[in-house]
Structure 1
Amino acid sequence: MENKTNRFKINMGKIYRLLLFIFSCAVIIYFFPKSGKFKYSFENGRPWQSDNLYAPFDFAIQKTNKELDEETAKIRLSTNVFFNKDTLVLNKSLNLLYDKINNPSSDSVINNLSRRELRSIRDAGVNIISNIYSRGLLDKNYDYKSNQIVSLLIDNKQLTSGFFSDFYIPEELLTSINNQVISLNIQEYKPQIVSILFDLLESDVSLNIDLTKNSINEALANLSPNRGIIEKETLIISKGEIVEGEKLKILESLRNEYETNSTNKLDYYLVISSYSLLVILSLLMIILFIRKFRKKIYLSLNQLSLIFFNITLLVLITNFVINIDSAYVFVIPICILPLLLKAFFDSRTAFFVHSVTVMLLGFIVPNSYEFIFLNIIAGVITIISSDDLYKRANLFITVGQITGIYMISYFSFFVIHEGNIDNIELFNFILFIICGLLTLFVYPLIYIYEKIFNLMSDVSLLELSDTNSPLLKDLSNKAPGTFHHSMNVANLAESSANEIGANSMLARVGALYHDIGKMDNPSYFTENQVTGKNPHDSLSSKESVSIILNHVSKGVEIAKKNNLPNRIVDFIKTHHGTSTLHYFYDKDLKLNRNPKINEYKYNGPKPFSKETALVMMCDSVEAATKSLDNPDIEQINSFVETIIDKQIKNKQFENCDITFKDIKTIKSVIKKKLSNIYHIRVEYPEI
């Protein structure tokens, strides 16, 4: 039954990997270009490096964006803009003026003036109002040039045509009234006239939006995006000829024709098929690499999902940015990918996946060679400099280096292309800085991915290494001897891991938690027996063996209850491997109790990584050396060699990728550390 269950899990894993691969390929292919790419590379002001180029088919010379913008502006300027004129406003304003003059007591500005003065103000007001409305007063400011042609409509019938500058605009009204008062030579009544007219004047001209929009759209509809035709077999450019001016425009038109149009359905499907093959090959390379060199990642569906999810997500983000404006391509934080992968896996995996992903993105972005070079170099720097990512300072240093590499590489490319720095785009340097700032979001992303994919990074390991955490506090209170032992093992494991290139933080944290199962019956373990009384003396061997062996399963139970990551639980399961409790086995053997050795063995599994293997070594040696009285260097060295060699003989490390060289290094580190712990010093002769 168990074999069937395992077989089912294996088959389901295979199906999941296949579906993950197919889904990732499908999504990436869907967002890839749907047309061919121009096979020639050219740059403004540089010689044409390829052979003479002849037009492969008839195509139009496309106008540049600048030319189209200029023509559009001319069309808008020469196309009538329609305004409605309300003829009733003039009479309304005049009537309001007459009312004020005839009833001066209602306005404090004019209530003390004589009849003659009021008539002068009235006549001037009528003159100014008539003048303003003869030209028209707009209801608001419009964004038209002064020479824009306009048509004035009354009851939807065209009255007259003129220029936009003929109208009065609201913000110029006060100035206009002041000027007319001066021209009428009645400055002594200026405050009164300005006050009265400014209150009663209202706009009589407003934009007819529908007519104007239709008029402009009709004119723009006749705007051609092309100017001229290049016939098939026409020589476009000769080898060595400088790419500039008209030649540049023709080449850009030909490239656009290639990349935006397919001549027929067969070509279209051929292009899609070719892109599909390249995407499939790229992702297949990643799968094969992981299967060959990172079997553990391949077997972990969560880890594999994380890798393919990030590749697909990066393609989607890049495609989205390119569709908005390809100039913003450098704002995409591509180097988040190697940072994430290194945080969860290792440098080699991060570099390989990053490189393949960048090559995939090269099919989407313009100037693909430049893009690939910049991001491969930046990725290498990211991987080299991002050790100990859990240290915040290291992340900022890494981001600074990434930004610097981008800037230096871009500057170099620009100088090579242009031959000078006169027209260098400083905006791109701002994009690189923004890219660096966005890369800092790797921290929250790590946290999110840990929760979604149930993974663990060095950042989480740092949190778990805090000895003030509730679980380690509990261990310290219930089993202080075990806690002290775990601290010693953690120090030994961390130092050993550093020397052999293993994950030192993982080894340290694994060592801190490896014996938490002893909290259940702490007094049954030697390091916690402070009274000198051994409770095993009152138990049978079978009971003692059961208690000791069960500290592993109890530890796993406690770990899961406290939501410790699986990678930490692995240390609890493997720190004794399948070793035997020889003390009790030999004891029962001497008493002729016919013991079965399997009943005295831990259930395992055996260590399956460098980190779990070295924790097993450090744990066994650290615990065993407690039995030595006043050990010297030779005793410790011999003890370390004996214990670890015995583990090798019992094939405890056959499932992990640790080498004899690594084991030799670990032995050396443990010997040195234990000598320091027991304060063994070289004795100097008396003088």
Structure 2
Amino acid sequence: MKTINLFGLKLQFEVKRNRYSDENIYSKEYSLREKLIYIILVMFIIAFSSKISLLSNQNNYKVGDIVKADLYAPNTIIFKDQGAKEKIIEGIIRDSGKEYIYSSDVEKLYFDYFDDFFKRINQLKNGASNGLESNLLERNTNKKIPYTLIEELVSLKEKELDRVEKASKKFLIEAYKDGIVQEKNSIFYREPADKKYEKLNELEKKIVDIFISPNYIYDEVKTKKNIREKVSQINDQYVEIKAGTLIAKTGEVLNERRIKILEACGIYSYKKSFSLIFANILYLGIVSSLFYNLFFNNYRKIILNKNYYRSSMLILAGILLTFRILNNDWMYFIPIDTAFFLLILLVEKNYAISLFSFMLFFLMPILNYNLQYFTIYFISMAFAAHIVAKITTRSGIIAAGIQLSILKVTLYLLLSYFSEIESFTVAIIVGLILLSGLVSGMLTIAFLPYFEKTFNILTIFRLLELGDLSHPLLKKISVEAPGTFQHSVMVATLSENAAAAIGANTVFCRVASYYHDLGKTKRPKFYVENQQNGENPHNKISPFMSTLIITSHTKDGAELAKEYQIPKEIRDIMYEHQGTTFLAYFYNAAKNIDPNVEKEEFRYSGPKPKTKESAIIMLADSIEAAIRSLDEKSPIAMESMIRKIINGKIEDNQLSEANLTFKEIEIIIKTFVKTLVSIHHVRIKYPGQK
């Protein structure tokens, strides 16, 4: 117990090491957590290893530094050149003409003032007027007219006054024609009027200054709007830098644009490197947390299945290491679809989608967060799940790979159009995507059998192979227990039709039915369907021994199937198809010998059916055998027998662990009746038959 005195308060706390009991360590929840942590560690380490080079970065460049050694681009990148875009914008601003408001009335109005002014000067000079009304003119022109200017003009000789008037007016005509511009608070002449103005004498300049007024007013709002419209049409500028391109020479002074190119290629300063390391750890930590919560709550059963878990781990590690080892220039060629195809075919569609999605998230650090790649494969994943789930032949996998690659090419071309990637690069990547689709399908076909056998996983293709009647075990049944074989074929027909009616796995029901009574090959003569000439071995042994022999066929079949590497799902059917069914015949026979015999000794060991498929096979097995005993195989008689058997199974609690509904049971009954009627239909008698 630790005690701390703080501000008059006594704080006590105790630290103990967490001890896990054996019960906790070996619990399913503990095992699930452990397995998930292993998956996360593998993906985290592989993804984070791609950023370890940031810690060993020997460069510490910043703007203004001199390059110590030639630097080459480690990968091919598409660089968004912001500097190039800014230069184009600067050129547009520089070259864009300014917008002005033109007024044609100004020129006419001021020429009227000019003519009126010289008219009054001439009148004043000739004595026709006592004075010049300068106040009115000053108000009109908003210019101060110096009295000395008037005196100077009046004192001129007529020829000189006429010359000054003509020279001034000529300049004003040309100036208004070229344009007198006002921008904010300044007024100036356009070329060439500004140069002509300099050639005027002082008197002419004074006169001209009075009678000029801007006829072009700078429109700042319209000018800025025009520039904005032009700038908005400029797209981002992208530069493709190939792997191995010299991006900085020794002795070169680095500017801001060059620094951005270095960073885009993955050459960072120490400060930037550590910030990126922290960002990657944070990103991978968030993704890992989401992965843990999703899979812990939704995929417990799959993760706890060691075969599914190991195969998933191998696929994940294989793909991530492939991306880690190969250069990112080959990212579109790497057959990542193989991983998705294998996960769907080996495990389950929803699990495959979830696992593949997170694998893409963990790939992002390795691919330098290439969002275009992520988007293409994330979108195409849904289409892939749809088409692969419907595949029933191995050749269909190659077709799925090609179809998927066509979708990815379409998405890539669409995204490339908006990204403005160089057309040559686009053509190469399109070729790589198409080739990757073909290779993905071929690799899936190549790897799938090894995964099926190594991890003993049942796929649709493995089921179809096991359903081949030339399989050694099926041949063994047909030769050593022909009656059992015929019975199994009938059960397969019944269960397959019933499974199709309620949406269960039809292929699994058919194939599992072929093998469900495999154990009867050990002592075939002890089962009535294999007995000949009315000879029954049970008549020579006790009912206790008979019960032991009969009930052992479930275990015998599972052990023999294991030797031949028959998947666990089918071996489970061998155990479950009899559940804990009661052997009433031998019980009654034993009771005659020993009245105190226990009823439970005459039951199969189980377990009870745990799936719809297992329950269907149990019902089909019992019904097929019972129908054989009917003398009259009419639809009514068969339906009555079927309902009696199924009700007996329900009352005996044999279907309590299977997720069958009463509605589905009714559908199964009708399907059984329909199938059996077609099998036991009445034939037309041939001529001469009684």
TM range (shorter): 0.5 to 0.7
Following TM superposition, by how much is the alpha carbon of 1:613 offset from its aligned partner in structure 2, in angstroms?
2.4
**Separation in structure 2 between the aligned mates of residue 540 and residue 655 of structure 1, nearest angstrom:** 33
What is residue 319 of structure 2 aligned with on the other side?
314
Equivalent in the alignment of 1:277: 285
Instruction: Give ranges in structure 1 of 5+ residues lacking alignment.
Output: 37-56, 70-219, 231-245, 682-687
Question: How far off is 1:508 after superposition?
Answer: 2.2
Which residue is 1:685 aligned to? none
In 2, the alpha carbon distance for the partners of 1:634 and 1:571 equals: 30
**1:307-342 CA-partner distances (Å, limit 9, x unpaired):** 223222222212223xx2x33211122222221122
- 2:647: which partner in 1? 645
State the shift of 1:549 in Å. Answer: 0.8
Is the contact between residue 632 and residue 680 of structure 1 (CA under 8 Å) also seen in structure 2?
A: no
Letter in 2 for 1:460: R
CA contact (8 A) 1:59 1:254 kept: no
Residues of 2 paired with 1:221 and 1:676: CA distance? Answer: 79
Q: Say if 1:266 and 1:371 are closer, same or farther in 2 by CA, change over 3 A.
A: closer
CA separation of 1:421/1:302 partners in 2, compared to 1, >3 Å: closer, same or farther? same
1:311·1:357 contact (CA, 8 Å) conserved in 2? yes
Q: Which shows bigger deviation, 273-282 or 479-488? A: 273-282
Q: Per-residue CA shift, 1:488-517, capped at 9, x if unaligned? A: 222222333334443333322221111011
Cα distance in structure 1, aligned partners of 2:454 and 2:354: 23
Contact 1:577 1:606 in 2 (8 A): yes
Gap change, CA 1:319 and 1:8, over 3 Å in 2: closer
2:333 matched to 1:331?
yes
Match of 1:299 among 304, 307, 314: 304
| Partner residue, 2:628 | 626
Give the Cα separation in 2 of the matches to 1:22 and 1:32: 16
Counterpart residue type for residue 301 of structure 2? K
Q: Secondary structure of the equivalent of 2:653?
A: coil
Secondary structure in 1 matching 2:249: coil
User: How far 1:659 sits from its partner (Å)?
Assistant: 4.1
Aligned to 2:271: 263
**Do the aligned partners of residues 456 and 664 (structure 1) sit closer, same or farther apart at CA in structure 2, a change above 3 Å counting?**
same
Give the equivalent residue in structure 1 for 2:17: none
Larger radius of gyration: 2
User: Counterparts of 2:248 and 2:335 in 1: how far apart (Å)?
Assistant: 42
Compared with structure 1, are the counterparts of its residues 11 and 507 closer, same or farther at alpha carbon in structure 2 (3 Å cutoff)? same
Q: Quick check: 608-617 or 399-408, which moved more? A: 608-617
- Structure 2 vs 1, CA of residues 310 and 566 (structure 1 numbering), >3 Å: closer, same or farther? same
Answer yes or no: is the 8 Å Cα contact 1:27–1:312 preserved in 2.
no
The verdict on how the C-alpha distance between 1:25 and 1:387 changes in structure 2, with shifts beyond 3 A counting, is closer
Go from structure 1 to structure 2 and tell me whether the alpha carbon gap of 1:678 and 1:226 turns closer, same or farther (over 3 Å shift): farther
Partner of 1:538: 540
Which whole-Å CA distance do the structure 1 matches of 2:676 and 2:66 have between them? 80
State the SS of the aligned residue for 1:263.
helix
Spell out, residue by residue over 1:639-661, the C-alpha distance to the aligned partner (whole angstroms, 9 max, x if none): 33332333233333333444444
Post-superposition CA distance 1:527-571 (Å, at most 9, x none): 112323333233332122122111112212322233323222111
- CA displacement at 1:64 relative to structure 2: 10
- Distance in 2 of aligned mates of 1:510 and 1:445: 24
Change (3 A) 1:227 1:651: farther
Corresponding residue of 1:224: 250
Can you give the 5+ residue segments of structure 2 that lack an aligned partner in the other structure? 1-21, 55-61, 77-245, 684-690
Equivalent residue runs for 1:496-575 within 5 Å: 496-575=498-577
Quote the residue 2:49 is aligned against: 31
Q: Is 1:432 the equivalent of 2:433?
A: yes
**Could you tell me how far 1:601 is from its partner in structure 2?**
0.7
Partners of 1:526 and 1:613 lie apart in 2 by 23
Q: 1:372 aligns with which of 371, 374, 381?
A: 374
Once residues 523 and 556 of structure 2 are traced to their aligned partners in structure 1, the CA distance between those partners, rounded to angstroms, is 10
Amino acid at match of 1:284: Y
Write the letter of the residue equivalent to 2:285: L
DSSP 3-state at the match of 1:532? coil
Between the aligned partners of 1:661 and 1:60, the Cα distance in structure 2 is: 79
Secondary structure at the counterpart of residue 441 of structure 1 = helix
Q: CA RMSD in A?
A: 3.7
Counterpart Cα distance in 1 of 2:268 and 2:670: 65
Cα pair 1:456 1:567 within 8 Å, conserved? yes
Give the residue type in structure 2 aligned to 1:466: D
The one-letter amino acid of 1:548's match is: I
Q: Is the 8 A contact 1:344 1:457 kept in 2?
A: yes
Shifted more, 430-439 versus 304-313: the winner is: 304-313
Q: 1:466 aligns with which of 461, 465, 468?
A: 468
Q: Deviations over 1:90-140 (max 9, x none)?
A: xxxxxxxxxxxxxxxxxxxxxxxxxxxxxxxxxxxxxxxxxxxxxxxxxxx
Distance 1:491 1:64, change over 3 A: farther
State the AA in 2 paired with 1:535.
Answer: P
Structure 2 match to 1:393:
395
Distance 1:459 1:396 in 2: 14
Q: Which residue of 2 aligns with 1:443?
A: 445
Distance change >3 Å, CA 445–CA 627, structure 1 → 2: same
The answer to whether residue 416 in structure 2 is matched with residue 414 in structure 1 is yes
Corresponding letter in the other structure for 2:250:
S
Could you say which residue in structure 2 is the equivalent of 1:353?
355
Aligned to 1:453: 455
**SS where residue 331 of structure 2 aligns?**
helix
CA contact (8 A) 2:64 2:253 kept: no
Q: Give the 5 Å matches for 1:103-118.
A: none
TM-score for the superposition, normalised by structure 2: 0.62
* Aligned mates of 1:5, 1:275 — CA distance in 2: 35
Match of 2:619 among 617, 620, 641: 617
- Assess, with a 3 A threshold, how the Cα gap between structure 1 residues 509 and 327 changes in structure 2: closer, same or farther: same
CA distance in structure 1 between the partners assigned to 2:322 and 2:252 by the alignment: 32
The alpha-carbon deviation at position 431 of structure 1 amounts to 0.5
Matched, 1:636 2:641: no
Aligned to 2:255, what secondary structure does the other structure show? strand
1:576/1:320 CA distance change after superposition, 3 Å? same
Q: What residue identity is the alignment partner of 1:273? A: I
Q: Hey, what's the Cα distance between the residues in 2 that align with 1:570 and 1:614?
A: 14
Task: Answer whether contact 1:549 1:602 (CA < 8 A) is retained.
Answer: yes
CA contact 1:24–1:312 (8 Å) conserved in 2: yes
Which residue identity lines up with residue 316 of structure 1 in the other structure?
L
- Evaluate the alpha carbon distance shift between residue 493 and residue 315 of structure 1 in structure 2; reply closer, same or farther with a 3 A threshold: same
Which amino acid in the other structure matches residue 388 of structure 2?
A: S
* Contact 2:47/2:365, CA 8 A, preserved across alignment: no
Alignment of 1:230-269 (within 5 A): 230=256, 252-253=261-262, 255-256=264-265, 260-263=268-271, 267=275
Other structure's SS at 1:654 match: coil
CA–CA separation in structure 2 for the residues paired with 1:523 and 1:550: 14
CA distance in 2, matches of 1:582, 1:6: 43
What is the identity, as a one-letter code, of the residue corresponding to 2:610?
A: F
Map 1:125-144 → 2, pairs under 5 A: none
Q: Secondary structure in 2 aligned to 1:628?
A: coil
SS at match of 2:415: helix
Equivalence for 1:477: 479
Q: How big is the shift at 1:609?
A: 2.6
On the 8 A contact 1:282/1:356 being kept in 2, the answer is: no
Deviation at 1:587, TM superposition (A): 4.6
Structure 1 residue aligned with 2:581: 579
Structure 1 residues 342, 528: CA separation in 2 closer, same or farther (over 3 Å shift)?
A: same
Indicate the residue corresponding to 1:20 in structure 2. 38
